[in-house]
Structures are given as structure tokens and as C-alpha cells.
A and B are shown apart, each in its own frame.
Chain A
């Protein structure tokens, strides 16, 4: 990255301007009507924290039921509702909004823009989310309960064989989709139109790069999800036969369309985390990111490949050999750009001068544990072996390694990295380290043994299991409860900072951090870069 070429900003002129403007409405109306990117970013982040705990408590129900063989706490139908809603809440309520929140806060600061390009739309795209999740979660209290067909809602279980929660679910997904698409458009327009003079494409921080690619993925696939849930709705209520064999449809076609959305969706949830790690590692290694251009190219390649691998989720549905081979090869190819990213991070650390504050600890854990998730992903790509892995806990272990120790650890690392900039105070390093070590140990107790029970033959989405899986599941559940409890430390850290308890943070915050966001004071003033910063070009 060429940010060493960015000239320090004249600290008086814009800041003076900021302070004059720094008044905002008080109370609830500030948050309801806000069009300020920082306020909206905060709202997104707090909302996703709330959803993390909502989805997390469902995971606790699942782990409690699976603690011992036999049915103890919930009946199988409710168990299925828990796995389904847990997945939906975590994917659409926790991970995705957290990334949008980080983008709202950081993208304008990183590119020297005064705000997002479309502030009123920004307000809309956030406030749709609480509406969507109120609708979705309300189905838990319906007669017959919430959707129970898995977050992948395969037909005909989600159409013919479901209760009316499907209609609520479809409407909620439409709202989430509209929210995500508006958010993505806003980010694209902001990055295209509002970069400060001199902020050329190849000077953009990687977080901005990964987000622009993510935004394009969102625009390409969220409408497909909207389409597929619409088809589910019309099949269930209006007599169409998109997926119904009786009318000439095909239930497997649902899976094709769903995964055409679903696989890019997986990358939507990980690419911004790559961007965060690419910001953190150089800052704490005090050394420029290794292979900036190759990082950009690798991100774009992953995004492209994500469109031609979808059927690897469907190897057991009965595909012709040629199709199985095609999807096996393309899926294996994804390992190449992903590998390049990992190698670049390691090379960035190499011969640096590293310190290990909490953001760096989470970033290192991300690199190791995400790579483990990548390895199991590679194993899953091998079609013959996938016949044994498919729909077992091996798959559960795989996607939790990439989504929890991948996406979620990336988000947590980003929060520790930037929270001094947001609140103006340093988080408690002791609390942060404690949170890190508790999370690291418990998350591995939770997800690592899942590989073994999966290989030994335990299918996913079952409320009860054979006795040979008992010890492992008890152990996994203990890991799960500990991981859940550990996140309370994270909440404590966040609220200490919000209540301004802690050492005052400098503008620079981290010794090795580079970029425009570190050149404005901490906490970031309500309005920043009203006059664009001048970034001197030079190579």
C-alpha cells in the first residue's frame, strides 16, 4: 500500500470546521432519523451484537439438548426451529450487518469522504433490519413455530410441509435483501464517487477493496435469493410449480438456485474479514502489507470463482459425473487465491517488529483457524470423500471454522482495532486478552471435535444421537457454553468504551497504523473530511 505517500493533514482547518458542525439531535430521534455514517455504523454494530446473542442463545439451546443422548429439553420440532433460526439470525442478522456497520464507519474515513454518498438511503437500509428480524423472530411464538426446514429451507420441506411461518420468513428475507442491496449500492457509489483527490484505486486500503468486491457480490446474488424465496412463496400459496414435481418442477432446481446465491453469500461473509486482517497485520508488524496487488487480484478471483462452484453443496443430489468433476475442479481452484492471501499475511509478519495487542491476537487466530476451515473445505471439495462428509458434523465444523473463527473473529479483531477511534478511549487490554484466550480455547473445544464426530458418522441437524457420540458431544457442549460465556467479556469491553471508561486514545492509536482514519482525532468528530484531505500522488 502506498499510504506512506499520504501527506499529514493540516490539522487545524478541517477540524475547526468539524467542531463548528458537531451538534446533533439528542435522544431517540437522533438515532431514528440519523443520516450520519458514524451513527448508522454504530446502529448496525449494536444491532449485530444483539443478534449475535439472540442467535447464540439458540445455539446454547441446541448444545444443551445435545449434551446427552436422549431428548431432555426440547422436542425435535423445536430443535429444528432452533437450528434454522440460529442459522438465519447469525448469517443475516449478526455477520452481514456487522460488516455493513464496519463499512459505514470506516469506508468514508479511509477514502476521505465526508459521509456515505446516499445518507437517507443509508438510514432506510438500517431500519429495515430490525423490522425484518422482528417479523422473523415473531414466528417463534406462532402456532406451529418458526421455520424448521434449516436455514437453507430446501423444498418441499419448506413449502408443502411447512406451516404459515414460511410466509413471514419470506417477507423477512425480502426486507433483509432490500436492506443489503441498498447498503451495497451505497458503498459502491461512495467508493466510486467520493474518494478524496489523489486516492487512486491502487491506494485504497484493502478493507475498502474487499468491501467493494463484496458489494458487487451482494448486488449480484441478493436479488437471486429474493427470487428464490418468492418462488417458494408462490409454490406454497399460489399453486405454481417451480419446484413441485407434480406440476413439472424439480425440487433439486431449488437447490441450484439457492446455492447460486448461497455460495457467493459465503464469500460475502468472509471477504471483508480478509480486508480487516489485511489492515491489522501490517499495523502490528509495523511493516507494509506484502503483495498488495496480489491481494486485490486474489480477492477478485475468489469472487469470480464463487459463481461457478455452487453445486459442490449438492454432490449427493445425483448429478452426472461430468458436472461433479467440473464443480470439484473449480472448487479446488479456490484454494489457490485463498492460499495466496494466507501466504501474503505470513510474509507481512516476516521480519516485522510485531507486538501482540488484542486485535493482532484475533488476527493471528483468524489466520490459523480460518486456514483450518480452508483445509476442511478442500477436503469437502473432493467429491468421492464428500459423499462421506456431506450433511455430517464435519461440514458443521468446516463452516463454523470459516464463519466463527473466520468472519466473527475478523469482526471482533476489527472492533478492537477501531474502537479507540470510535469512542476515544482505549479498551481494557487485560479484558481484551482475557476475552481472546477464553474465546480461543473454548471455540476450539466447541468446533474441533465436531470434525471427529462428523467423520465417525454423526449427521447434522439431529436432536438425538447414538451412544458412541456421547462423550464428544458432552465435551463440545461444554466448549459451546464456555464460548457463549466468553463473549460476555466482549460486551463488557464494548460498554466500558461506550461509557468512556479507559485511557484516552491518541489520534494515531496504534504505532504502526497507517491510513486516513488515523489522521483524524479520537473519537472521530461527528463530521469529518468536510473538506477533502489532499493525498499527494507519488511513486
Chain B
């Protein structure tokens, strides 16, 4: 029961701590969300890390993998996969090249951001090596083939028969990208 001489400071201090904590919680939602995405495949985010080599091949089924490449207006490069799609057994390792050509008269660094659909299949898409792991510099008018080496985890649930791997190419400002 309150009375008018009570000190309001302790309660006020607690409330202040809560509101400041919630401010930082807003920021903390970002790493939490990333972890959540990786666990659930929300938004088709794939782990941007090197996967362990494939250990077995599931010859009982074939999975169709489609490739999509598009680029942001910020980077005047041609960017295209060498093939639109392929079929493979889960566990089989494949390499697909994406061709880039710098149309501009200046050297530039590109960065490809991957996205996999359906999102829930993203965590079964294992990249052993990928040009998206690092930034990709290119000389003026230069061109090159950028490989992605991958396999589909044989544990992929049976309901998925087609997986799409999409890259969007951005111009890197040179700053380090953490995720």
C-alpha cells in the first residue's frame, strides 16, 4: 500500500533498465533472427560457410537444381550461370560456373548474395566452395568464371524435388561484410 512519502526512485530505476534493455533487445533480434533463419530456412538463407564433404550418394532419386543470377543496378556487370538447371542425386558433388564480365572501364568488387527456394530446403543445400564466400574483384572490362561446388544433403525430405539457387550480385563498397 502506498503513501505519499515513498521514494519512487527504485521502481523508476527498474523501469528505466527494462526500457533500455528492450532498446538493445531490438538490435539483438537481428542475430537471433539470423540463427532462427538458419535453423528454419526462413527466407532461403543458406549458411555462408564451407560445408563438410559429402559422405554418401542417394541413388534412389534425382533432384532438379535451377540457377538464377541477377544483379543490382549498382554494378554494371554481366552475370549469368553457364546452365539454367541440372539434375543430380542427393550427395553427388557438382560444380557450376557463373560467368561475370565487367562492362565498365573501372576495376570493381562484386559480392554475390545467395538465396535458396524453397526456403525450408536451404539447409540441405551444401556448398563446399562458393564465389559467394568472398568478395569478387574484377578489372576494367575483365571477365571470369566463378565456380560453386555443392551437393544436396541426402537427408533432404522427400517432398522437395526442385531446388532453386539464386544469386544477386551487388557492388561491394569495400567494407567488410560480416554475415
Binding site for B on A (CB under 8 A): 113-114, 117-118, 181, 185, 188-189, 192-195, 197-200, 219-228, 231, 239, 241-242, 245-250, 252-253, 256-257, 260-261, 318-323, 532
Contact = CB atoms under 8 A, between A and B. Distances in A.
Contact of B12 (A189, A224, A249): A189
Given A118-B12, A227-B26, A532-B4, A247 B120 contact: no
B19 interface: yes
Size range of the interface on B? Answer: 35 or more
Interface in B139-173: 168, 170-173
Nearest to A118: B8
B74 to A, nearest CB: 8
Nearest to B7: A193
B4 A320 contact: no
Highest count of chain B CB atoms <10 Å: which of A118, A185, A221: A185
Contact of B29 (A189, A194, A257): A257
A223 B4 contact: no
B30 A253 contact: yes
A239 B119 contact: no
Contact of A192 (B3, B11, B25, B30): B11
B1 A197 contact: yes
Contact of B22 (A219, A242, A320): A219
B177 A247 contact: yes
B164 to A, nearest CB: 13
Contacts of B22: 219-224
A239 B175 contact: yes
A323 B173 contact: no
Contacts of B171: 246
B104 interface: no
Nearest to A247: B177
B40 to A, nearest CB: 5
A467 B93 CA distance: 55
Given A245-B170, A256-B33, A195 B16 contact: no
B8 A220 contact: no
A475 to B, nearest CB: 41
- 6 interchain residue pairs of minimum CB distance: A227-B26, A248-B179, A246-B170, A223-B23, A223-B22, A224-B26
Contact of A319 (B42, B170, B177, B179): B42
Interface string B20-48: 11111111011001000100111101000
Interface of B: 1-4, 6, 8, 11-12, 15-16, 18-27, 29-30, 33, 37, 40-43, 45, 72, 74, 111, 113, 119-120, 168, 170-173, 175, 177-179
24 contacts: A117-B8, A185-B12, A185-B19, A188-B15, A189-B8, A192-B11, A193-B6, A195-B1, A197-B3, A219-B15, A219-B18, A220-B22, A223-B21, A223-B23, A223-B26, A227-B24, A228-B26, A248-B177, A248-B178, A253-B33, A257-B26, A257-B29, A318-B43, A320-B42
A248 B113 contact: yes
A260 B43 contact: no
Highest count of chain B CB atoms <10 Å: which of A181, A319, A320, A323: A320
B40 A320 contact: yes
Contacts of B173: 239
A219 B23 CA distance: 10
A74 to B, nearest CB: 29
A217 to B, nearest CB: 11
Contacts of A198: 1
A191 to B, nearest CB: 9
A181 B15 CA distance: 9
